[in-house]
Structure 1
Amino acid sequence: MFGKEVVMRRAAVYKRCGCRTRSEAGGGRCPRLGERGHGSWYFSLELSCGRDGRRHRVRRGGFRSRAAAEQARAYLVGGDVVPGRSAVTVGQWLDIWLEMRQSLSFNTRRLYTQQVDDYLKPCLGSVPLRSLTVARVQAMFVGLVRANAARRRPLSPATFVRIRGTLHAALNGAIRVSLIERNPAHLVELPSGRRPRAVVWTDARVAHWRATGERPPVAVWTAKQAAEFLEHARGHPLYVLYLAVALLGLRRGEAAGLRWCDLDLDAGVVQVSHQVQDRGGRTVVCPPKTEASVRTVALDHGLVAALRVLRSQRRQGDGGEPVGFLFANRDGGPLSPGYVTHAFTRLLVEAGLPPVRLHDLRHGAASLSLAAGNDLKVVQAMLGHSSIVLTADTYTSVLPCLAHRAAEATAALVLEAARDTAIALRERGRRKQRRRGKGRGSRERAAKKQHRPVRPHSAPRRSHS
């Protein structure tokens, strides 16, 4: 398709969808295609006969607008370069790739778009896709590392990994449509860096923070500090929300999006089936972060009691059960996650506790659950992780009680082994003494029979000259 001298005989740009309305209409044009946002745009190309004498038709789809489909069609046939040659640049392919990724969530698409516009297109946008090499991609990252010194907020190693991941995914898409054969981003070396681990606000670390203002990037409260915050927040309209995040490890959007129909207080469970996000100044309801995030979480008796109190406060005037969101705004819609975070920060300052993020309550919930003796697999299911490795690497800070318990267990194991070794050595010494005593007694009996004194076992014989 690329690199061949082809002549486009006929091109078409059209819109289509796969909803049931089309099949109900007898397979014809869907009557909803005129609606904004319904369906996606496609283009088809009928190419002239190749050397095999056969006609070739190329179809591509999934574009969000007609202009994007027409632009992708022009890129595909090399309409912007010398006729007879197809040289799609990296920047052009990144635009096509983003348009064709219709399954991306809002936040993921926003992240990809930002990385493409801020880093990839300025550095690699004009490079022909077929001319992209590992050295060229490596030079881009070297330039970004050097520019870090002049940045007010330097890029972290994790950001470099995400930029390479975006480029790697886009180039894999180019491989699937036979634009290139290898992925140059696969062999690129990045600055080494470690993911920040959550640390616990011990008394010594709190004293250091109060004296210097220095705080770790990720920190969690101890059980006592979490209890102090919840006691301070008691009576606040969002007290139950923060209680659920601290005990169940819910994400901010999951907690803000809870509805009364998601609760079964008699069974003591809650169903996490969606979340809310802030998008362009609006609060919208959307699916959870991953498929594993759709889960059923067990509630403890204290949280069930708090939810019953909240339900009695929210009962309608006629005594009917409340409907809609547990934590709603004045219009009955879900609260903005940004407002939930703002209220949390204000309560934290009022309580005088060491600073943590609202998301750090999720880190702490995992650590507290482990400190209570729960299995790591149970914690994974509670948090909604698809992999237990992510749970172990990210959300399991070592609390002081866990560290002390592990230290005592290790010391007990060593002391027990030392006692066993000491007992074995003493028993071996006793057996040796018994054998020596038994040997001396037999020699004494033999000496009496011969009527001569018995020399000590250890005394050497004297030689007479």
Structure 2
Amino acid sequence: MGESHPVVYKRCGCTGQRGRCPRLIDEGHGSWYFAVQLQGLSGWRERFRRGGYASAGEAEQVGRQLIAAEEGGPIGAGCTMAQWLRCWLATVQGIRPRTRQGYADHVRLHLVPALGRVRLSELSLRDVRRMFTALAGRRTRYGRPLAAASLERIRATLRAALNEAVREGLIDSNPARAVRLPAAPRPRAQVWTERRVAAWKATGERPTVAVWTIPQLVAVLDGVREDALFPLWWLAALRELRRGELAGLRWMDLSLETGELSVAQQLVHVGGKLVAFPPKSVAGRRTVALDPQTVRLLRRHEHDRRAEMTRRGQAWDDMGYVFTRQDGSPVAPDYLTYQFHKLVDKSGLPPVRLHDLRHGAVTIALAAHVDLPVVQGQIGHASIVLTADTYTSVLPELHHQAARATARLVLSAARGTARKVRRGWCGWMTQV
């Protein structure tokens, strides 16, 4: 085996075949492996292999990345953090492409510059603390300090890399586990009340997460009713779908006869391409009920799409998606964000993000007295605690309803008591 080139081969889990399974010639059977020779701590070159890759090209690319990570010394307890982080990044499996990209960004921008020269075996809690102290004082390109949530994500990347080093027996413990960072509170959506709108117009100040009132939402939907993606904006505003789920919705996922849609996949931008992936969790794979108005909108949209497909003929790229570009190709999530931002600017209403429509949809459902467990199922959360903690920013009128209901309960009890005790004792009740 050449030292500078990985050997790539295919294997499967079929028993009794000794790696010679005749079905390996089938494209969908088995997975690809790579094997490389790396310098071990003993000074001898040792065989290192990993598998589970979807293609030979992917396996070979990871093998080459691992060889590149070895430059400067062996991959082991005596290697530098830069070598180990690159080795780990090249071989980590079972993560989503966007997660891998986040790991790579953290390694490149933060972890290697701060810890890259430290030996893996010598990394201490003090080193990690010093890094996060420096990061906390760093400013983003917008002049703001790194958010607590960003620091927590960087720590999660470092912790995952060091956990793997512990599993490999290269270090005894993970110093990133003991680091205490500022709490990263989950942002709660704020409703665009008249006072907040006035403050925004005067100073530009806006909540981190904001939702429209029902009249504001109606005004926006009325203003975009002629937009080609109007059914998509409607679904986002009323049925709590994420932008990737909207972009990935196919006609085969719709059952307009029963008034339902299935969230079976989402589109994600990876390496400059749109790639379909299943939802993040089992709870994310869900069935969403549709009201009659939404069904009518989607039927009309289907009719318009079929007419456009007929008109374009061979030029139509029919991939079966509900929401498409003018040539029939699927829309990218980032494109939806861009288009929505333009529509909001044009409306003149206070700004919200496309993802904020998801918060607003839950708010409207709560205003319509939908039970929280039902909302949890529709939004695709595995835990009702997460739903309650994140999305229950209710509309102002619900607060007033709760206040009136509480007062009615107390006054009703007071009136009942007044019949049984001296009138003077409950005289205050008659003043209310």
Q: TM-score range by the shorter chain?
A: 0.7 to 0.9
* Compared CA separation, residues 419 and 296, structure 1 to 2 (3 A): same
| Selected match of 1:403 from 393, 399, 411 | 399
Q: Do residues 264 (structure 1) and 255 (structure 2) align?
A: yes
TM-score norm. by structure 2 comes to 0.82
Structure-1 separation of matches of 2:376 and 2:365: 11
* 1:357 alignment partner AA: R
| Residue in structure 2 matched with residue 61 of structure 1 by the alignment | 50
**Which segments of 5 or more consecutive residues in structure 2 lack a partner in the other structure?**
312-317, 426-432
Partner of 1:292: 283
How many angstroms does 1:312 deviate by? 2.3
For residue 399 of structure 1, report the CA deviation from its aligned partner.
Answer: 0.9
Q: Does 1:189 align with 2:180?
A: yes
Deviation at 1:351, TM superposition (A): 2.1
SS in 2 for 1:315: helix
SS of alignment partner, residue 330 of structure 2: coil
In the alignment, structure 1 residue 127 sits paired with structure 2 residue 118: yes
Which of 198, 211, 226 aligns to 2:202? It is 211
Q: Deviations over 1:168-216 (max 9, x none)?
A: 1111111111112211111112134433211001122112212222211
Task: Give the direction of change, closer, same or farther, for the CA distance of 1:419–1:181 in structure 2 (3 Å limit).
Answer: farther
Structure 2 partner of 1:348 = 344
Measured after TM superposition, the shift of residue 287 of structure 1 is 2.5
**Any conservation in 2 of the 1:43–1:61 contact (CA below 8 Å)?**
no
Match of 2:229 among 235, 238, 241: 238
Question: After the TM superposition, which of the residue ranges 38-47 and 118-127 deviates more from structure 2?
Answer: 38-47
C-alpha change, 1:79 and 1:298, in structure 2 (3 Å) is same
Q: Distance in 2 between matches of 1:330 and 1:75?
A: 44
AA matched with 1:329: R
Deviation, 1:130, is 1.6
Most deviating of 236-245 and 403-412: 403-412
CA contact (8 A) 2:77 2:121 kept: no
Structure 1-normalised TM-score?
0.77
Residue 189 and residue 284 in structure 1: after superposition, are their counterparts in 2 closer, same or farther (change >3 A)?
same
Question: How far is the alpha carbon of 1:136 from its aligned partner?
Answer: 1.3
- Residue 21 of structure 2 is matched in structure 1 by 27
Query: Which shows bigger deviation, 361-370 or 92-101?
Result: 92-101
Partner amino acid, structure 2, of 1:396 = T
For 1:451, the equivalent position in structure 2 comes to none
Which letter does structure 2 place at the counterpart of 1:342?
Answer: Y
Judge conservation of contact 2:266–2:279 (CA < 8 Å) in 1.
yes
| 8 Å Cα contact 1:75/1:88 also seen in 2 | no
Tell which deviates more after alignment, 284-293 or 173-182.
Answer: 284-293
Determine what percentage of the aligned residue pairs are the same residue: 45
Cα distance between partner residues in 1 of 2:330 and 2:4: 46
Q: Give matches, 1:423-434, under 5 Å.
A: 423-426=419-422
Determine if the alignment matches structure 1 residue 158 to structure 2 residue 164: no
Task: Report which stretch shifted further, 287-296 or 245-254.
Answer: 287-296
Cα deviations by residue, 1:269-313 (Å, 9 ceiling, x for unpaired): 001111122334433333223332211100011101111111222
Greater mean alpha carbon deviation, residues 243-252 or residues 139-148: 139-148
User: Counterparts of 1:385 and 1:212 in 2: how far apart (Å)?
Assistant: 36
In the TM superposition, residue 25 of structure 1 has moved relative to its aligned partner by 9.3
1:41 aligns with 2:41: no
Q: State how far apart, in whole Å, the 2-side matches of 1:71 and 1:361 are.
A: 41
Q: Given the superposition, is the C-alpha separation of residues 25 and 138 from structure 1 closer, same or farther in structure 2, using an over 3 Å criterion?
A: closer
Count of paired positions: 404
- Name the CA distance, whole Å, in 2 between partners of 1:229 and 1:48: 64
Distance 1:172 1:178 in 2: 10
Q: Is the 8 A contact 2:66 2:91 kept in 1?
A: no
